[in-house]
């Protein structure tokens, strides 16, 4: 879905995202955040990252240096997570 969104196929990205969102609330938080970043929905991405932090998701640590997080770096909310 991330690649679909980055390539401009937002409809397909949203279809996949909808499937991910039907999973339990605690699962797939970071993959969902990545899709929202690619869709330029940074506030929603940060919401999911904050949930991942609350749940102590170890994947969050690997997410911070990733290039895919670049659109969020200027956000105080992102800085608060890091």
CB atoms within 10 A of CB 40: 10
27: left (phi over 0), alpha (psi -120 to 50) or beta: beta
Q: What is the pLDDT of residue 24?
A: 75
Q: What is the pLDDT of residues 16-71, one digit of tens each?
A: 999 888 877 667 899 999 999 999 999 999 999 999 999 999 888 888 888 999 99
Rounded Cα distance, 76 and 67, in Å: 18
Which two three-digit tokens encode residue 3?
């690649």
């Amino acid at each position: 879905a991330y690649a679909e969104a980055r390539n401009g196929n937002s409809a397909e990205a949203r279809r996949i995202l909808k499937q991910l969102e039907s999973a339990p609330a605690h699962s797939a938080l970071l993959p969902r955040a990545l899709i929202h970043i690619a869709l330029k929905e940074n506030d929603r991405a940060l919401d999911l990252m904050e949930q991942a932090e609350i749940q102590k998701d170890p994947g969050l640590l690997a997410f911070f240096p990733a290039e895919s997080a670049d659109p969020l770096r200027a956000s105080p909310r992102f800085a608060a997570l890091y």
